[in-house]
Amino acid sequence: MAKANVEKHYAVVGVLEDFNKTLAVLSHYVPKFFRGAARLYEDQGDDLPGAEKNWYKRPVSQEIQDLVSRNLTNEIDFYNFCR
């Protein structure tokens, strides 16, 4: 149902890991609002090296990763679909 809603109601869906790609697609689909946005975002990122990195992130054990993968299969499938 979620995949059908995305296909039916949204022209563009992006994820933060691919934010530059999302901005590029938006620049193509809605240039009036997003022309140059990808370049501007990249330029701003140069001023903030490591800003997207979580310096406080603790390692996650393989056991926990496996547990999450087993219990969130629908969510992971939807995320990969949107990606």
Q: What's the structural domain count of the chain?
A: 1
- Per-residue confidence at 43, pLDDT binned at 50, 70, 90? confident
Report yes or no on 59 lying in a domain: no
Q: Which tens digit of pLDDT belongs to each residue from 57-71? A: 888 999 999 999 999
Q: Quick check: 51 and 45 in contact, CB under 8 A?
A: yes
Element at 2 (helix H, strand E) = helix 2-9
Report yes or no on 10 lying in a domain: yes
Host domain of residue 21 = 1-48
For the chain, what is the largest distance between any 2 Cα atoms, rounded to a whole number of angstroms? 47
Q: Is the pLDDT of residue 81 over 80?
A: yes
DSSP secondary structure string for all residues of 16-81: GGGHHHHHHHHHHH-HHHHTTHHHHHHHHHHTSTTTTS-TTPPP--HHHHHHHHHHTHHHHHHHHH
- Model-level pTM? 0.69
